[in-house]
Structure 1
Amino acid sequence: MTDDHSPAFGPLDARAGASTGPNPPDRLSLRDHVVAAEIGAFQHERGREQRLRFNVVVELLPQDRPGDDDVDRILSYDRLTEAIAAELRAERLNLLETLAERVAARILAEPQAARVFLRVEKLDLAPGALGVEIVRDRAAPAAEPAGQGARPVVHLLTTPALPAPAEGPAVLVPPAPFLPL
């Protein structure tokens, strides 16, 4: 474990840059995008707007035609601000976590997006900013529900010898006694 917390508490693009290898992906960033919205679970947050600050870094998939100067072939900054606006218009939310998840999902629906780092903060509730930061990856498999794992291999025992051990769970089924009709 390291004591260097700078990527976690530094600019979002520094955090994104700290998690890459020798061939980092291209990134698109939106910094300090401030909008007003009604959000919050507490009574004092209802019926009033508060400022929210969004910082977004999107890691991009490699382009099939790099250097093509066509705005329709890239993920534009407008798509990031539109994702935020669309989710704020969709419904009133209680949690920044829900808003962050929905904005990230909308951005990852863009064909050029591979991974999104998103920080959203409330600016009017405390002397500092209160917020949440998430990282979502298009390629990350969905978590399996509890109790769901590898499918068991079923072995019908027709001889006294046990089958060779299998990877994962196994079900051993003894032969049914022969019952004449």
Structure 2
Amino acid sequence: MTKMLASVNGGEEAEIALSGGADIIDLKDPTAGALGAVATDVIRQTVKVVAGRQPVSAVAGDLPMQPDVILAKAQEIAATGVDYVKVGFFPSDDAAACADALAPLAGKTKLIGVLFADLEPDLGLLPVLARRGFHGAMLDTAKKDGRRLLNHIPPEHLPSFVERCRSHGLAVGLAGSLEAPDIPRLLPLAPDFLGFRGALCDQSRRTNRIELEAVRQIRELIPAEQPVGRAASVDYRLLAARGYSPGAADPALGTDKIFVRDFVLPVQIGAYSFEHGHTQKVRFDVVADVLRVTHAPEDMRHVFSYDIIMDGIRTIIARGHVQLSEALAEQVAALVLEDPRVMQVKVRVEKLELGPGGVGVEIERKRASEQAHVLRPHGTASAETLFPGRGQKGSSS
């Protein structure tokens, strides 16, 4: 299950985050940069306030990539009793040396290496972190300028980062000015945790105080792990809003039609030899009949995001060449139907460059009746590279 990490500046905000249901209490000073460190006495005091109710992490600060400096600060923070120490790895020829220096500490404290999506992260560091005993790695943003993780890395390329972390035995986290609409787009990747600060704060400003209601809204978008052996009281409407579906929805609520129209992308598609080795424009039109979860939708907890459809199409075409428009349409329909809220989907795939008009296929697929009674999370798709070359345009048929 994906956990919710809430960044706080001390014990008072930690209590708010705990009350709102955060899984990990993360200490940082938002006024001092992306990974601004709070004072060690504040970390110790917060560890006492949390008192083991949830794990506590703390950032080491925006430090220069100097092995002795990095090690000294990480040791200082580890001595406060936190469960995790987050260390930023900024672009530097000495980044691997810093990881080497931290190896002895990694044997005693869970270390998380933080890479920055807006600073051309070196994914070659992932096997280095794994060899040096790091517990995990995460993507964040270094510049808090209003741009989010998904502004820097397209969603169809994030699966590559998650899969590479997993292949090296690293826990994986995603953060970077994330907002509520980002959650349904990132949950299918199944990261170990999603990190939040600004979305939890008054007016969504990361330097403001976090607010209980904002924490709760983010919490309700991330399915909580149920204690073993405990029969939970399940709010199926909230589960549906988070990507799950109850066996029997209230028929009075009916369905909504969520659509993506005139969505044109460059696609590697076609059975003819002249269609191989380059892309052509393809237009997608998708209409999904989605179970409603409330008569009065107010926020992301109550809707099926059309971003999921667009992200899914991008992910599919990022896989490589597809021979047939029919095959591409089937893949898109299957991906949309992975979400149990979707009862029916119509997909139109239209090539735009084979003549004076468009050619293609339109299909309509319904959820099998036996599948409508399954309660499960929707699945994932993957891409091969995080930062593909300019000439790599995607996949399709």
- Report the TM-score when normalising by structure 1: 0.61
1:108 alignment partner in structure 2: 337
Q: Matches of residues 29-40 of structure 1 in structure 2 within 5 Å?
A: 29-40=259-270
How far the C-alpha of 1:67 sits from its partner, in A, is: 1.4
1:93 alignment partner in structure 2: 322
Q: Does 1:127 align with 2:127?
A: no
User: Whose RCO is larger (CA < 8 A, sep 6+)?
Assistant: 1
Q: Is the CA contact 2:254–2:292 (under 8 Å) kept in the aligned structure 1? A: no
Cα distance in 1 between the residues matched to 2:339 and 2:311: 12
Q: Which amino acid is the alignment partner of residue 295 of structure 2?
A: P
Q: Is the CA contact 2:264–2:283 (under 8 Å) kept in the aligned structure 1? A: yes
Q: CA 1:24 to 1:128, structure 2 compared with 1: closer, same or farther past 3 Å?
A: farther
Structure having the larger proportion of residues in strand:
1
How far the C-alpha of 1:87 sits from its partner, in A, is: 0.9
The structure that has the greater radius of gyration is 1
1:66 alignment partner in structure 2: 295
Q: Which amino acid is the alignment partner of residue 56 of structure 1?
A: V
Aligned length: 119
Q: Matches of residues 1-181 of structure 1 in structure 2 within 5 Å?
A: 25-63=255-293, 65-139=294-368
How far the C-alpha of 1:83 sits from its partner, in A, is: 1.2
How far the C-alpha of 1:141 sits from its partner, in A, is: 7.0
Percent of aligned pairs sharing the same letter: 39
Gaps of 5+ in 2: 1-252, 372-397
What do you get for the CA RMSD once the two structures are aligned? 2.0
Cα distance in 2 between the residues matched to 1:70 and 1:53: 29
Give the ranges of 4+ consecutive aligned residues of structure 1 lying more than 3 Å apart after TM superposition.
none
CA deviation map 1:85-107 (0-9, x unaligned): 11111232100111100111000
Q: Is the CA contact 1:59–1:113 (under 8 Å) kept in the aligned structure 2? A: yes
Gaps of 5+ in 1: 1-22, 143-181
Structure having the larger proportion of residues in helix:
2
Cα distance in 1 between the residues matched to 2:271 and 2:328: 13
Q: CA 1:58 to 1:95, structure 2 compared with 1: closer, same or farther past 3 Å?
A: same
Cα distance in 2 between the residues matched to 1:121 and 1:102: 15
Q: Is the CA contact 2:290–2:344 (under 8 Å) kept in the aligned structure 1? A: yes
Q: Is the CA contact 2:292–2:303 (under 8 Å) kept in the aligned structure 1? A: no
